[in-house]
Structure 1
Amino acid sequence: MSAYLQLPLREALPWLDGSGPEADIVISTRGRLLRNITAHEFPGHAKPNERREVAEEILAGLAAVEPARGAHQVELGSLSGHQQMLLREKHLLAEGECRPEHHRHMVVSSDGLFVAKINNQDHLRLQCYAPGFQPGQVLAGLLEWETALDHHLDLAFQEDFGYLTASPVDTGTGLHMSALLHLPGLVMGGEIDKILNALRQLRFSVKGLFGRGRAVRGALFLVTNLVTLGRDEQEVVSDFEFHIGKVLGHERTARQQFFSSDSLGLEDLARRSLAVVRNALLMTSQEGYDRLNHLRLGAGLGMLPDLNFAQLNEALVAIQTGHLEQEAGHPLTVPQKTEARATYLRTLFAENSS
């Protein structure tokens, strides 16, 4: 494995390429498997030397398996503040994951679809991504990695409980499936709270793209299953597919109702936003996500045939502070960021650029 993780601004994340089933609503699917190594304390209770030993053991195991051939790895504590920001904006890191004494590492496969995190809350977190709505493919990818690693690592497992995890709520399969959903129809129709409350009652976590407790932007929601005990992996995926599928059905119904009742108004909304991003000289973050929301809706309804979801998904990441500053090559003030964001969007959505 390479010891260097490249972080260029223009390197598109492969699960945001706009392909895959239901890509007009589901931006991406993610699966996470939580695993721990027998005879070691969980990271939260382990001393630094033991965390270092765990990291070395897992890195050696990853280096020995075929799926990790050509992967990049980085010690998170060695990243600069700006590099950490870039990874957070790509939703590959969370706040507080990069303290050097924690001996945390991240390994990214050569195709960018698999990520392994070491010494987070658990010893090992395997993550697999796919564009669109593909929970079955994501599970297959995770199990391929786990099967390969099982020959090199002694994973903590008990017959009565399943895989042992740092948090009891993750015990069992240790499998969490997530889907990043664009739900403008439900938001505009005033039905979103009812749908999200129903998901929470079914033991799903729901949060905005930028994390729990922050304002939802762009009608984007990350939905994740919480129940991992008492079901095997396929049951977790089947349940996830069923309930997310119902949400997709409600969103399509809401979009069709708006289209049937006021197609001209919807197209006007989308085309006005396209005109703004092609001409604006200043753009706040909030307005940027509002405009992208309208553009995604218009593209999904076939009103903006010149746009594609790869462009729209790329913009969701690239208009954030860290990426704008990387493009500029230096820190930006708030006024400079509003100008840089507008410049980026003008360039991306310029006529004939798609």
Structure 2
Amino acid sequence: MSRWYEGIREESSNIIYSRIRLARNWDEYVFPSRLSEQEASQVTEQLREGLKEAETGEHPFLWNDLAAMNGAQKQALRERRILNRTAVEKNGPGGLYLSEDESCSLLLGADDHIRIQFLAPGLDLEDLWKKADQMDDFINERFSYAFDEKYGYLTTFPTNVGTGLKACVVLHLPMLSQVRKFQSIVGDMGRLGTAIRGLYGEGSENYGNMYELSNQRSLGQSEREIIEQVAKAATQLNNQELRVRNAALNARRLEREDETWKSYGILKYARRITEKDARIFLSQLMAGEEDGVISFEKERSLYSLMIGIKPANLALWASRPLDKEEADCVRAAYIRERLPRMIESA
């Protein structure tokens, strides 16, 4: 089965994917950071046993023992947004229930006892929330949550207290992020109750122009209000990106076409390429395809290449550890093999 990010979206949008995450804790134990190794092992085993039905449902989850994974495997899952830093750096007991397409996961014993996560291409927060809510009920029937009448769900990080909900949308903003007023746009997002940050670094270091938009707080708002806020802000950013890009295309179409085709040529024929350069050229291809400057015959999304070229996933593809020089050569080979074939220019 292909992973969720490899699918081709029929609708045209700069919104790459949506993510819903819920932080929950079992009220019979202290937070994971305060558990002894023996207690952490006990909690993980009890949670796994209590959630075993997830392994045999209509869309079964596969069990992964975090303690049995090596560092490269964990880092690859982090690059695919399945694990967070705490889970990657954790040496003690912990577990992960993961669906085959990796769109659904239950992370056990990291920052919180349970982290529920759902991912999907495009703007799909409403549907993801329904799925997460159902999973939340499924778990809560088996384990009672740490909950306070005044503060809501109790979590390791104070920013998650309340609903425990983090609603995220990742957008591709290659043109909007270059305009002078972008920082004021970022400020406007704050007034809407959301925050935006570079997915691959801040400011000019965010090679690939991917940005993650999410709610700023979890306390004092309902889940519905949070989702509506983030969806509204994402739609506004998408529309602004389209306006700036259409203006640029009308004013200097030949330049845009030249950038797109040069990017395709480099990615198609390079024998060595850095991750930074690969992200820049893939970003230009994604924008060019969106604008109709170039078209592809493809079975997977261009965004999936953004994930595949990252160090740990690239090493998994090569089936061996890679030093920097090797990685640049293997990255070029990976892109040549998986870059979709160009079929026409608009």
TM-score normalised according to structure 2 size: 0.90
Aligned AA (1:41): V
Distance 2:171 2:316 in 1: 27
1:251-307 alpha-carbon deviations (Å, 9 max, x no partner):
111111111211221111111111111122221111101100100000111111125
Aligned AA (1:215): E
Distance 1:116 1:211 in 2: 27
The percent identity for this pair of structures is 23
Match of 2:53 in 1: 64
- Paired residues of 2:24 and 2:145 also in contact (CA < 8 A): yes
Aligned AA (2:150): D
Distance 1:143 1:348 in 2: 36
Q: CA deviation at 1:100?
A: 5.9
SS in 2 for 1:155: coil
Q: CA deviation at 1:113?
A: 1.5
- Are positions 1:157 and 2:147 aligned together? yes
Distance 1:329 1:116 in 2: 27
Match of 2:283 in 1: 293
Query: Is there any run of 5+ residues in structure 1 with no aligned partner, and where?
Result: 1-10
| Cα RMSD (Å) | 2.5
Distance 1:328 1:36 in 2: 38
- Are positions 1:84 and 2:103 aligned together? no
- Paired residues of 1:135 and 1:241 also in contact (CA < 8 A): yes
Q: Out of 124-133 and 325-334, give the one that drifted further.
A: 325-334
Partner residue of 2:304 out of 303, 306, 314: 314
- Are positions 1:43 and 2:29 aligned together? no
- Paired residues of 2:199 and 2:210 also in contact (CA < 8 A): yes
Q: CA deviation at 1:334?
A: 2.0
- Paired residues of 1:108 and 1:114 also in contact (CA < 8 A): yes
Partner residue of 1:224 out of 214, 224, 230: 214
Aligned AA (1:304): I
Partner residue of 1:131 out of 112, 121, 124: 121
- Paired residues of 1:30 and 1:177 also in contact (CA < 8 A): yes
In structure 2, relative to structure 1, the CA distance for the partners of 1:100 and 1:314 (3 Å cut) is closer
- Are positions 1:257 and 2:239 aligned together? no
Distance 1:350 1:126 in 2: 33
Aligned AA (1:29): S
In structure 2, relative to structure 1, the CA distance for the partners of 1:89 and 1:99 (3 Å cut) is closer
Aligned AA (2:161): T
Distance 1:299 1:309 in 2: 15
Match of 1:28 in 2: 17
TM-score normalised according to structure 1 size: 0.88
SS in 2 for 1:102: coil
1:52-110 alpha-carbon deviations (Å, 9 max, x no partner):
22212221232135758621111212111221222122122233424565322111024
Q: CA deviation at 1:111?
A: 4.1
Distance 2:229 2:294 in 1: 34
Match of 1:333 in 2: 323
Aligned AA (1:250): Q
